[in-house]
């Protein structure tokens, strides 16, 4: 079936869904396949739950005239998203990077929403399925759509750009994330820079952190650049003031006091300010939007419990973000500090070296209360004062006996470690 024909039926639907458990009345259901499931087998349930149409790629799944048979459901979803993106012609701002994507996306949305009608990626639906779903959620009449793009291997960002066709692009940073899939740090830079490649080849606009030499190098002498940073020769000048613990910065002689911890969040805030300035949002509105944003979902959250302050940053971790979190903890004003560090995933052959480097930094800068969790950290060479636990179950028995009163606690690890469970024992 042709995309144009499917699109007419899509226009008659309320939304799209890939999960029969979450279908709403008059949704279009896409019967995706995975390693352990086949959405074609749930078509009957999709209709029972309210689906208007079901897109399938198994002829045996066609049970009525509202089943749309295609060669491949995933490809159809992606092609439909691009078709829709062109039809509604909403300006798209796309972003990627090793760290801070979701926080930056939310900050940009908060700033733009003060003046414009804006929609953005929900949560972190930023892959080859999430990006199409995001685009299909955008309605005609929007002033901006913000699309977060994630990747763990080469050519993935290039492909997501071909689907979303961004008008504006930015990269939060280049860090040591997904080293296994990208083939090392240089592979990360090359892979993430596929966004810049698209921007340049299609004569679109990039927002560049001029304080980051890696970004300047990757964008080269491309003309359509909005530079932001601390230097007075930038298009948008944003001065860093402090981060103890929250990031404060200055813009047009206005001090902005964020609710984000760590100087590593300066760049995430700064690009939102730069985008606000470019689209002529008043400085006072930018300030209010930034100051009102609160981190959530285990991303750099500050949790106060009586005499204890907890920095919960357990949504994800890689060597770059882990090091940044440790540097931030080091400069905080607190007499007693505890470090709960969980394994960093997807590092491949670099895993042993990168975990040891984190241990070395932690032990050089904190003389006690370093607690490591996970198989990779368990293999590292440590000082006698450093505690190591192979699993969270091993750690549990120790947690209840720790005296954490009047302490500042950092909890940092990859999503699979689920270190937020520590909160149950504090």
Residue-wise burial string across 224-251, b where 16 or more C-beta atoms lie within 10 A, e elsewhere: ebbbbbeeeebebbbbbeebebebbbeb
The ranges of the chain annotated as CATH 3.40.1190.10 are 89-292
Band of pLDDT at residue 401, cut at 50, 70 and 90 = confident
pLDDT at 245 over 90: no
Overall fold of domain 301-425: 3.90.190
Mean pLDDT to the nearest integer, 204-215? 96
Mean pLDDT to the nearest integer, 374-379? 97
Mean pLDDT to the nearest integer, 15-35? 95
Query: What does the pLDDT read at residue 222?
Result: 94
> 271 with 212: CB under 8 angstroms?
no
Residue-wise pLDDT tens digits, 139-173? 999 999 999 999 888 899 999 999 999 999 999 99
pTM score: 0.89
Mean pLDDT to the nearest integer, 320-348? 93
The ranges of the chain annotated as CATH 3.90.190.20 are 301-425
Q: Which helix (H) or strand (E) holds 209?
A: strand 205-209
- Between CA 170 and CA 196 the distance in angstroms is 8
By the 10 Å C-beta count (0-12 exposed, 13-18 middle, 19+ buried), 83 is classed as middle
Helix (H, G, I), strand (E, B) or coil at 372: strand
Residue-wise pLDDT tens digits, 87-144? 999 999 999 998 899 999 999 999 999 999 999 999 889 999 999 999 999 999 999 9
CATH 3.40.1190.10 correct for 89-292 = yes
Query: What does the pLDDT read at residue 152?
Result: 84
For residue 164, what are the CA distances in angstroms to 84, 89, 171, 276? 10, 11, 16, 22
pLDDT at 405 over 90: no
Residue entry with tokens 């740090």? 185
Band of pLDDT at residue 420, cut at 50, 70 and 90 = very high
Query: What does the pLDDT read at residue 182?
Result: 82
Residue-wise pLDDT tens digits, 338-359? 999 999 999 999 999 999 999 9
Question: What residues does 248 pair with on adjacent strands?
Answer: 242, 257
Overall fold of domain 3-70: 3.40.1390
Paired tokens of 222: 């491309």
Mean pLDDT, the chain, whole residue set: 94
pLDDT at 297 over 80: no
Band of pLDDT at residue 422, cut at 50, 70 and 90 = very high
Q: Which helix (H) or strand (E) holds 307?
A: none
Query: What does the pLDDT read at residue 329?
Result: 93
Q: At what angle do helices 130-137 and 73-88 cross, to 10 degrees?
A: 40
């Amino acid at each position: 079936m042709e995309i144009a024909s499917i699109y007419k039926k899509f226009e008659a639907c309320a939304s799209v869904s890939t999960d029969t458990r979450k279908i709403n009345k008059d949704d279009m259901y896409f019967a995706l396949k995975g390693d352990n499931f086949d959405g074609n087998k749930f078509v009957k349930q999709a209709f029972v739950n309210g689906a208007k149409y079901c897109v399938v790629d198994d002829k045996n799944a066609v049970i009525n005239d509202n089943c749309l048979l295609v060669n491949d459901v995933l490809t159809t979803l992606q092609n439909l998203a691009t078709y829709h993106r062109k039809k509604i012609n909403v300006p798209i701002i796309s972003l990627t990077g090793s760290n801070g994507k979701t926080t930056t996306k939310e900050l940009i949305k908060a700033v733009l929403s003060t003046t414009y009608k804006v929609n953005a990626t929900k949560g972190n639906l930023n892959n080859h399925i999430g990006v199409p779903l995001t685009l299909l959620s955008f309605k005609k009449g929007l002033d901006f759509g913000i699309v977060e793009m994630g990747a763990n291997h080469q050519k993935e960002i290039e492909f997501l750009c071909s689907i979303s066709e961004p008008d504006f692009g930015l990269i939060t940073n280049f860090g040591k994330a997904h080293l296994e899939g990208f083939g090392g740090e240089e592979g990360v830079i090359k892979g993430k820079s596929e966004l810049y490649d698209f921007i340049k080849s299609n004569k679109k606009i990039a927002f560049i952190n001029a304080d980051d030499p890696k970004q300047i190098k990757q964008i080269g002498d491309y003309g359509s650049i909005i530079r932001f940073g601390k230097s007075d020769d930038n298009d948008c000048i944003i001065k860093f003031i402090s981060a103890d613990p929250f990031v404060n910065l200055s813009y047009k002689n206005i001090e902005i006091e964020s609710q984000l911890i760590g100087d590593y969040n300066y760049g995430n805030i700064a690009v939102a300010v730069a985008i606000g300035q470019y689209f002529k949002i008043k400085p006072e509105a930018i300030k209010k939007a930034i100051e009102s944003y609160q981190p959530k979902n285990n991303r750099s959250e500050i949790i106060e419990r009586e005499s204890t302050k907890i920095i919960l940053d357990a949504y994800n971790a890689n060597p770059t973000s882990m090091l940044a979190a440790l540097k931030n903890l080091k400069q905080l004003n607190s007499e007693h500090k505890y470090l709960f560090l969980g394994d960093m995933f997807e590092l491949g052959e670099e895993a042993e070296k990168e975990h040891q480097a984190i241990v070395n930094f932690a032990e050089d800068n904190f003389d006690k209360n370093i607690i490591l969790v996970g198989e990779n950290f368990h293999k590292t060479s440590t000082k006698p004062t450093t505690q190591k636990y192979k699993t969270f179950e091993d750690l549990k028995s120790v947690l209840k006996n720790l005296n954490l009163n009047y302490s500042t606690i950092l909890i940092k690890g990859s999503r699979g470690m689920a270190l937020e469970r520590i909160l149950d024992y504090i």
